[in-house]
Structure 1
């Protein structure tokens, strides 16, 4: 039986609640067909994002160690996000025409090479061999541009694959929740590993990242089956952001990730400045904070979402309210325990909402639109990080509470939008 919210998103007319037989579902004509490799595809998300998340707890102390200003860190992150915005649709469609294996193996290898270069530059900066503007420009090119293009491909490719191989609303939601759960586990594992290794040396976690990504590329090269040529789509459809099936979800996702983007980049600065910590202690407690956000996200997407069987609209509404409580709690300067609890609530709320954001429009699209849709969802998410980190770090320099208040205001507006727009109402 469908959730009462199902009426808010009219599903395509199909016995399976999706408009076409999904990729890889050849059971009707080939009883010996091998099952889809969703778990292996999710491992690409897990390992790529683990590589990214290892860096998060050390980016603030690293930037200060090599003499970069807060706004320069924000620009680096924003350039990475802009790379994702510009390339996500390309990768989403190419994953359907080239195949998932060549795309995933290729971008994981590219990501490993980029982060190896970033590790070398970090060493040069810490040793004082390369400093100032030249170091910053190379950071932006390697960590921002090249790594951004690489990571842009992973989630859209895997989301389009899941859309191909799932045949009902709830299996689609569970599959998309798996992507978010993999990202949450990466946040937990990456933040923990980054914080622990940084307590030994700021360079150690940076050196580990290309090893993780290179290992992921080898794993998929060996284990992931290539698709048969008949399963590929020669000309996937480019999806418009103004498509009425899509744009309400884009607004919802933009609001969530804008709030997150304002907070994520300044967490290390908040912890260091409110508690007067040195670089290594800041990295450790930033890692713990991001760990709790990841735990909240994993709990939401691996336990709560699969059990409640809510429609995407309800997931978005409930998740937005929970995240809003977390953002509001961050305005209090009441010690590390309250700050960590607030970040946990943010992770929990966004973890509940994210499967609604990705699965909702996917249930409305045809098979040849799934790659383009996954790409535009990824681009929309990344678009928030083009502006938010730079704006957040600039606002933080004016008044440390200001970017947090902006996040709260955005989440209040989003909650109202989700409550009033017909797409998300019963």
Structure 2
């Protein structure tokens, strides 16, 4: 069945609050990205092994897998405001507890298994459950208030663009604040999230009851309309997951840095990825006019080139260039992954689909970070090489699968060319 995309618009004349919803995405990801530059050196400071960091990140991803569809459908039945407010409140509480735990670990008050389990509880389960509510809520909202392919792609690119801005901002904040001690960025995270909670509570409109969908429809992962997009996204984010957590280890080991310098330089590397993502989703995607399949093809090919370059251990410049290319390529591909299937389902299915897209992305980080850190312990280039192979396979897939040759017709009768 092909959805008539005109049915995606809710029956309301109220001005869409897309910028406000994107602001919520920005702030929640800014909190997450602020942690990324310091998670590797922090783990070594408190005595955790690389694989324990991987398990912590995988626990967060598992929460995204388990709860994204729930949040996506609840955003249509409860409304966006209560879902986003609950997510921010949970994120603030868990990050305060995580900062306190890190301080106890650095002072030696908590060590060993207890420290590891609490890392998983606060950073993994708690914060993961909070983050899992925000992207599907934002994506379902954008799908709800846009009625054509161009607006849909631009809206979904906006989600990716603010994630890229968060990556840049978080890299700068986390990297710079780490110069004052690794605990400082952890304290900053709940401070960053609090304005988001206030903004949602004060400014975000609550939908009238007649605009809510009391029984949002489920979308299965093997639905023929969406599974090729899910597979493409799964592969791309799996490749990314193999390197995301180990970036700090790569920086520290290849460049021979101490813990605080690693936080600063890793922040710079993640800044390069964020710049690539912003360039892709704020400039290239909106101006290109490319359909979702073309975005997936071009983005996949560019990201594959970045993975090949990252395999080489040839100094800081190629390392930063490789991460920039990966961010640029995935930044181009992401709107194709998120917007493409929304053009094929009904309004009642948008919340379930948004949750499914987020769950698919989260699923990649259940296995990939743990596998990546484990493989890094065996041989440093192995996780990067594995990511390159996966990216190559997915890029070929989006070039040859029939779903990406021609999407079904728009509501105005024109075909969506790949």
Superposition TM-score, scaled by structure 2 size: 0.96
Tell me, yes or no, if the aligned pair for 2:96 and 2:187 is still in contact at 8 Å. yes
| Residue 10 of structure 2 is aligned to residue 20 of structure 1 | no
Aligned residue in 2 for 1:40: 20
Tell me, yes or no, if the aligned pair for 1:19 and 1:366 is still in contact at 8 Å. no
Aligned residue in 1 for 2:63: 83
Aligned residue in 2 for 1:242: 222
Task: Please state how far the C-alpha of 1:200 moved relative to its aligned partner.
Answer: 1.4
SS at match of 1:225: coil
Equivalences for 1:137-148 in 2 at 5 Å? 137-148=117-128
Task: Please state how far the C-alpha of 1:271 moved relative to its aligned partner.
Answer: 0.6
The equivalent position to 1:394 in structure 2, one of 364, 368, 374, is: 374
| Residue 392 of structure 2 is aligned to residue 405 of structure 1 | no
The equivalent position to 1:67 in structure 2, one of 47, 67, 73, is: 47
Aligned residue in 1 for 2:348: 368
| Residue 328 of structure 2 is aligned to residue 348 of structure 1 | yes
Deviations 1:84-138 (A, max 9, x none): 0000000000000000000001111100100000000000011111111101100
Tell me, yes or no, if the aligned pair for 1:19 and 1:365 is still in contact at 8 Å. no
Deviations 1:1-37 (A, max 9, x none): xxxxxxxxx9644xxxx141512x53xxxxxx43010
Aligned residue in 1 for 2:77: 97
SS at match of 2:7: coil
| Residue 251 of structure 2 is aligned to residue 251 of structure 1 | no
The equivalent position to 1:414 in structure 2, one of 368, 377, 394, is: 394
Equivalences for 1:12-411 in 2 at 5 Å? 12-13=3-4, 18-23=5-10, 25-26=11-12, 33-411=13-391
Q: 2 CA distance for matches of 1:11 and 1:21?
A: 13
Q: Give me the CA root mean square deviation.
A: 1.0
Q: 1 CA distance for matches of 2:337 and 2:361?
A: 10
Q: 2 CA distance for matches of 1:190 and 1:364?
A: 34
SS at match of 1:214: helix
Q: 1 CA distance for matches of 2:140 and 2:3?
A: 17
Count of aligned positions? 406
Aligned residue in 1 for 2:411: none
Q: 2 CA distance for matches of 1:274 and 1:208?
A: 29
Deviations 1:208-229 (A, max 9, x none): 1011112211111011010000
Q: Which runs of 5+ in 1 are unaligned?
A: 1-9, 27-32
Q: Which runs of 5+ in 2 are unaligned?
A: 407-418
Equivalences for 1:1-16 in 2 at 5 Å? 12-13=3-4
SS at match of 2:312: coil
Query: Which portions of structure 1, spanning 4 or more consecutive aligned residues, are displaced by more than 6 angstroms?
Result: none
Aligned residue in 1 for 2:405: 425
Superposition TM-score, scaled by structure 1 size: 0.94
